[in-house]
Structure 1
Amino acid sequence: MLVFLSILPILAIFFFLVIMRWSAKKGMFYSFIITILVAFFGWQMGAVEITAASIKGVMTALEVGVIVFGAVLLLNVLKESGAVDTIRASFTSISPDRRVQAIIVAWLFGTFLEGAAGWGAPATVVGPLLIALGFPALAAVMIALMLQSAPVSYGAVGTPILVGVNTSLENQPVVNSFLDGESMELSSFIFNVGGQVSIFHAMVGLFIPLFMSAMLTRFFGKNKSFLEGLKVWPFAIFAGLSFVIPFSLTANFLGPEFPSLLGGLVGLAIVIPLARKGFLMPKDTFDFEPRESWDESWISDMKSEPRAPKDISMFKAWLPYILVALLLVVTRIEGLGLNALLSGWEVAFDDILGTGIEHSLSPLMIPGVVFIVVAILTGWIHKLDMGGLGDAFKVSGKTILSAMAALIVSVPLVQVFINSGVNSSGLESMPLVLAQAAANLFGDSWPLISPTIGALGAFAAGSNTVSNMMFGLFQFGVADEISANPLIIVSLQAVGGAAGNMICVHNVVAASAAVGMIGKEGTIIAKLLIPTAFYLVFAGGLGFVWINGFGLNAGSIIVLIVLVVIVGFILRSYKKIDVNTNE
């Protein structure tokens, strides 16, 4: 009964959001009510404790809201000034091959945007950009959503790790016991999780550009062939490496704020100049059939012709994101002194309502503050008039109000869920009760399942951050129950939560709306189940090997099968295309 009650909040989210297709605002509100009832009657959690946990959740939601607002504000300022048009125009002259365009725009530019903005915003920018390049709308949204994978764990400058994982694990007895045994601070554990997550993402995400190309040719090419897309594998793997190497190095040496942002920026700087020179370009050129022959389901009302860029130079167009990257780096490196100065002003709640539930934050260290400052500076640098700047603030305000309507109930729900151990019944918290049941059911095979749990959380809640909040402690508890390294299991949670963003309802709806494809969400999700399944299976196999070693075990078999299938399809693509084209 306890296991059933502890999973009831999660089942409620699935029922209201996935089955009933309610909005996140409405579905999460009713799920929150159910969570409160379970906590009060099932766990005998007092009204004061529930209120304290909810207050902590509201404060966390407001912190996330500042990040989202700042990121979206900068993007809207760039749209108003014409800088986004300048960036878009620069992509059209690199290569006529649609596979190459998809990889550069979605994988490299999109991952950079994910690191800077997060919260599904990159897909809403990349989709219209691909349409402007001449892609069918359905293809544009599919490719745009595929970028919501490897970079997502570090979206909005590390929010899923720094806020999601940290919030789930802080001040939890089972976590504190482990940290004491390792003589480690939670901040160090979180830093190490960020590094490990990047390693898993690097191994799996390396192949996402190849998947983008293969999916594009399979569903939107004349020959309807995966193999046609795989022919571009040298460039796809090169583009993958150009992102994941700086991405992983950044995560392990600088921290979770910068991997996607700097990885995308470095990748763009490496790949674009070489692509212009023809480096690793495919011998054949893939293009879509004439527009009049496209299936009606591919087309939206959005115009395919880009607007003429305003008088914004390429340097000025990219300068705001360069400033964001620089400011975030210099304010996070302790040796430079700014970190101590800005983090010196801390707002701390050590004992909310006398319950022992804690929360603290340094307002000036919230990444959203950097975005807001840079957005205002950008208005001046780009000579944007007050009307344009005002419009950017208005649009961003509407966006954040919409997002906060869901966050303001989602995050308190998660806080009641994970703080349910503060009760008068002596019961463990709901995530730990679930952890015990999962450990008994799956045992040592749990690493294979762990990423899927993270993906389910993101699919239901619409956010890797919220998924990590909800299941971080649950995953840690399972690791403790099966005597596995919690660093690896929690990292697999974050990896799965990122992969789940490819198919999460919130992102699919937002990206579809951005390209005028409302009503096709089911079709899009069905296609994206292919790369999502690849990501979760491969990550689970790698996690199992990481814990148990490479040998005759399930993880090793999965990893080998995945690699053999990829290599086999690449080799087959050469044979098939060589025969068909007499190359």
Structure 2
Amino acid sequence: MSLLYTLLALTPLLVVFLLMVVMGRSAKLSMGAAYLVTVLLALFVWGSQTAVIAAATVNGIVTALTLLFIVFGAVLLLNTLKVGGALKAIRQGFMDVSPDRRIQVIIVAWLFGSLIEGSSGFGTPSAVGAPLLLALGFPAMAAVMSVLIIQSTPVSFGAVGTPMLVGVRSGIDNKADVAAAIVPMQPMEYLQQIVENVALIHALTGFVIPLLLCGLLTRFFGERRSFAEGLGAWKFALFAGLAFTVPYYLIAVILGPEFPSMLGAMVGLVLSVTAARKGWFAPRKTFDFPDRSQWPSHWLGTVAMDNTEAPQRFSVLRAFSPYVLVVLLLIVTRTFPAVKAWLTGPSATIRIEGIFGTGISTSAQLLFSPGAILIVVSLACIAIFRMSGQQYVVGVKDSLRTMGSAAPALLLAVPMVQVFINSAAADGSIASMPLVLAQGAATAVGHAWPSVSPWVGSLGAFIAGSNTVSNMMFSYFQFSTAQQIGLNIDQSAVVVALQAVGGAAGNMICVHNVVAAGAVVGMLGREGEIVRKTLIPMVYYVIQAGLIGQALITGAMGWWIAAAIFLALTIGGLSLSRGRQMTPAMA
């Protein structure tokens, strides 16, 4: 019977995968079908309360609206920069750093994106980074793929450590068996042990993400369709990977979970931009995309960057200042307690308690949302670029149209997730669908659990759209499973860390992030194409993390050798992968 429930719990995810990834249907259609299947299973198989399903749906709709608020702010800032004439200066500034697209994507996506993730999180790097890459002349599909791939290493310490401080901590806090097992440690000491394991596993797994990013960029968007062409930038890619992950790990050990991604990215940005300007580690040949006239239609979105811009009238510093302002405001609002308290206090929070008489509540903090910061900065652009009110209104109208296009997919995706999470039987006889899936996996693999643990975390992020929520759902389950298979307390900390690492990797294919990133560059309805590309680094990440986790738990050299071999096979296998070389007929 438990196997049957496990298979049934898998059904909504299979519906999404088959419709969106395999068949290439839109997220709107895929998530609509998945929502219907999830509701029917919850009501007629799990025996969930109708009121709970309705409340979860309302909570999902409110959450989706807050995500759309961020999408609107990101698109508005982009449109403001476009109408104000700043994008050409920004593009020229990055071209001056390096004309090589591989180096540009590392600096913008990997490092600037990680900085945004560290300060804000919750999909903001995609909403900010994708339009910036589009402005630099990247194909829309390449921009979306790039910003999603980096939604991995920095995510566990995103939003000033929220996935750890809220996600993992709330998952294992106030549990009598956890408190008894970790004695004489206090809960925060044990959390710090988990944090250090998370940082180490991420650093050892993620330092090659810039290299994979370069390879996938040239494989899918180069004229020769060659992954190996991306490896031509291996020196700079590995330098940038280590320039972020080394300080990232050290900061996690010294300062804890709040600042590894933010400060690590700052250090990495300074080192990498300096190296690029001086030509250190630069590839011999410069890589660029084919001429725009040769781009296939599936590379393009509906947001136009050319022909509608005003002439360049500003210095690079002035043109880029809105993004600097975004980062500063994100840091101030997330790290200054008084400011954060004012923006998140009762008077600034819209909250609905006990929806339909259930235990489900929902809330929105619009002033604290990254969307509010993006809108404020877009208004500041009126003064920065001496724009007219009419120009700004044009940007607002265009942004509202984009947000409206993204709304159906998100308004179906997020409620489906909330029903999935809140699907436990009314009498408590059957756990919610995510827990049924996790329990089924634990039963099937037994002592091989550490290798599977990251997959559970990624599954949680895929369905919930959040590493934080994934950690809240599964951290205690991961701890309990580690205890059941006989691991000691230090080893169990590694297993919980693997949950957090897998949850971060799941952000690469999370439907929420894919829809949001696609929306800001005009690629709605193409989510399946995007996921098929980002699934490659996501699979690498969770397998490699599992191998490294096994090495840390067992201390056996064989697992370290297996991790090294898997990395070599991944890069070697992708290097052998070639698509059809671009010809005029493909344009």
Which category of TM-score, normalised to the shorter sequence, fits these structures?
0.7 to 0.9
User: Matches of 2:192 and 2:64 in 1, distance apart?
Assistant: 22
The answer as to 2:440 corresponding to 1:437 is yes
Q: Secondary structure at the match of 1:337?
A: helix
Shift of 1:70: 2.6
Match of 1:492 among 488, 501, 517: 501
Cα displacement (A) at 1:90: 0.8
Shift in alpha-carbon separation, 1:274–1:563, aligned structure 2, 3 A: same
Correspondence for 2:318 among 316, 319, 340? 316
Shift of 1:384: 2.0
Question: Where do residues 22-421 of structure 1 align in structure 2 (5 Å cutoff)?
Answer: 22-97=25-100, 99-112=102-115, 118=124, 120-121=126-127, 124-125=130-131, 128-129=134-135, 131=137, 141-142=141-142, 145-151=145-151, 158=158, 162=162, 197=198, 199-215=200-216, 229-230=230-231, 232-245=233-246, 263-282=264-283, 284-287=284-287, 310-334=312-336, 337-345=338-346, 346-360=349-363, 362-421=365-424
CA shift, 1:414, in A, is 1.9
Q: Distance in 1 between matches of 2:517 and 2:367?
A: 33
Distance 1:61 1:564, change over 3 A: closer
Return the offset for 1:389: 1.6
Give secondary structure in 1 for the equivalent of 2:380. helix
Sequence identity (%): 35
Equivalent in the alignment of 1:538: 544
How far apart are residue 385 of structure 1 and its match? 1.6
Name the counterpart of 1:551. Answer: 556
The amino acid across from 2:325 in the alignment is L
> Once structures 1 and 2 are overlaid, which stretch shifts more, 383-392 or 151-160?
151-160
**CA offsets 1:306-342 (integer angstroms, 9 cap, x no match):** 96852222222232222222222223335x5223333
**CA distance in 2: counterparts of 1:443 and 1:342, whole angstroms:** 46
Report the CA distance between 1:439 and its aligned residue. 0.5
Match of 2:582 in 1: none
Deviations 1:201-243 (A, max 9, x none): 3332221222344456667779987666545433222222333
* 1:560 is the counterpart of 2:564: yes
Q: Alpha carbons of 1:342 and 1:475: their partners in 2 closer, same or farther (altered >3 Å)?
A: closer
One-letter code aligned to 2:417: V
Q: CA deviation at 1:258?
A: 7.1
Q: How many positions carry a matched residue from both structures? A: 552
C-alpha distance after superposition, 1:529-569 (max 9, x if no partner): 654443232222223334x143156x434323246669999
TM-score by length of 1: 0.76
How far did 1:275 drift? 2.2
The CA deviation at 1:288 is 6.1
Contact map agreement 1:35 1:417 (CA 8 A) in 2: yes
- Distance apart, 1:40 and its partner CA: 1.4
Seen in structure 2, the aligned counterparts of structure 1 residues 162 and 340 have a Cα distance that, compared at 3 Å, is: same
Aligned partner of 2:584 in structure 1 is none
Of 411, 427, 444 in structure 1, the residue corresponding to residue 430 of structure 2 is 427
Q: Residue type matched to 2:111 in 1?
A: L
Report the more deviating stretch, 435-444 or 24-33.
24-33
Residues 496, 204 of structure 1: CA spacing in aligned structure 2 closer, same or farther, 3 A cutoff?
Answer: same
- Cα distance, 1:340–1:67 mapped onto 2, change above 3 Å: same
In 1, the alpha carbon distance for the partners of 2:505 and 2:59 equals 26
TM-superposed CA distance for 1:88, in Å, is: 0.9
What residue in structure 2 maps to residue 473 of structure 1?
A: 473
User: What are the superposed Cα offsets for residues 492-541 of structure 1, whole Å, 9 maximum, x if unpaired?
Assistant: 33222134369997589669966x9x99975x776666544432322222
Query: Kindly tell me: are residues 384 and 21 of structure 1, through their superposed partners in 2, closer, same or farther at Cα, counting changes over 3 Å?
Result: same
Whole-Å separation in 2 of the counterparts to 1:389 and 1:259: 37
Quick one: which amino acid aligns to residue 500 of structure 1?
A: I
- The residue type paired with residue 39 of structure 2 is I
CA 1:191–1:6: 2 relative to 1, 3 Å: farther
Change (3 A) 1:324 1:422: farther
Whole-Å Cα distance in 2 between the matches of residues 413 and 452 of structure 1? 20
Distance 1:152 1:121 in 2: 16
Report the AA paired with residue 409 of structure 1. L
**How big is each residue's C-alpha offset from its partner over 1:332-365, in whole Å with a ceiling of 9 and x where there is no partner?**
335x522333332244445333322344554433
1:298–1:493 CA distance, 2 compared to 1 (3 A):
closer
- Contact 1:167 1:469 (8 Å CA) reproduced: yes
Contact 2:402/2:520 (<8 A) preserved? no
Residues 248 and 261 of structure 2 are in contact (CA less than 8 Å); yes or no, is this contact kept in structure 1?
yes
Question: Aligned pair in 2 of structure 1 residues 173, 33: CA closer, same or farther (>3 Å)?
Answer: farther
Report the CA distance shift for 1:396/1:195 in structure 2 as closer, same or farther (over 3 A).
farther
CA distance in 2, matches of 1:185, 1:9: 39
**SS of residue paired to 1:27:** helix
Question: 1:490 deviation in Å?
Answer: 2.7
Q: Which moved more, 1:382-391 or 1:155-164?
A: 155-164
Q: Verify the 8 A CA contact 2:21 2:528 in the aligned structure 1.
A: no
Aligned-residue CA RMSD (Å): 4.7
Query: How much does 1:423 deviate?
Result: 0.9
CA contact (8 A) 1:58 1:411 kept: yes
Distance apart, 1:36 and its partner CA: 1.6
Instruction: Please give the per-residue CA displacement for 1:392-412, whole angstroms capped at 9, x wherever unaligned.
Output: 222322333333322222222
Task: Report the residue type matching 1:326 in the other structure.
Answer: L
Structure 2 CA distance for aligned equivalents of residues 71 and 355 of structure 1:
34
Amino acid at match of 2:563: V
Question: Which is further off, 286-295 or 36-45?
Answer: 286-295
- Partner of 2:386, secondary structure, is coil
> Quick check: 1:5 aligned with 2:8?
yes
SS at match of 1:365: coil
User: Contact (CA 8 Å) 1:82, 1:310: kept in 2 or not?
Assistant: yes
Q: How far 1:89 moved relative to its partner?
A: 0.5
Distance 1:257 1:144, change over 3 A: farther
* Contact 2:124–2:370, Cα closer than 8 Å, also in 1: no
- Provide the C-alpha distance between the structure 1 equivalents of 2:136 and 2:203, rounded to a whole number of angstroms: 25
Residue 486 of structure 2 is matched in structure 1 by none
**Cα distance in 2, alignment partners of residues 76 and 254 from structure 1:** 38
Report the CA distance between 1:43 and its aligned residue: 2.1
Return the alpha-carbon distance in structure 2 between the equivalents of residues 149 and 331 of structure 1: 26
Unaligned regions of 5+ residues in structure 2, if any? Answer: 484-491, 574-587
Q: One-letter code of the match for 2:434?
A: P
Measured at CA, do residues 151 and 187 of structure 1 come closer, stay the same or move farther in structure 2, by a change above 3 Å? farther
Whole-angstrom distance in 2 between the partners of 1:351 and 1:26: 30
**Further displaced range: 102-111 or 292-301:** 292-301
Tell me how far apart the structure 2 counterparts of residues 75 and 392 of structure 1 sit (CA, whole Å).
8
Q: 1:508 to 1:391 in 2, by over 3 A?
A: closer
Question: 2 CA distance for matches of 1:297 and 1:399?
Answer: 19
**Are the counterparts in 2 of residues 472 and 493 from structure 1 also a CA contact under 8 Å?**
no
Where relative contact order (Cα < 8 A, 6+ residues apart) is larger, the structure is 2
Cα gap change, 1:105 to 1:370, in 2 (>3 Å): closer
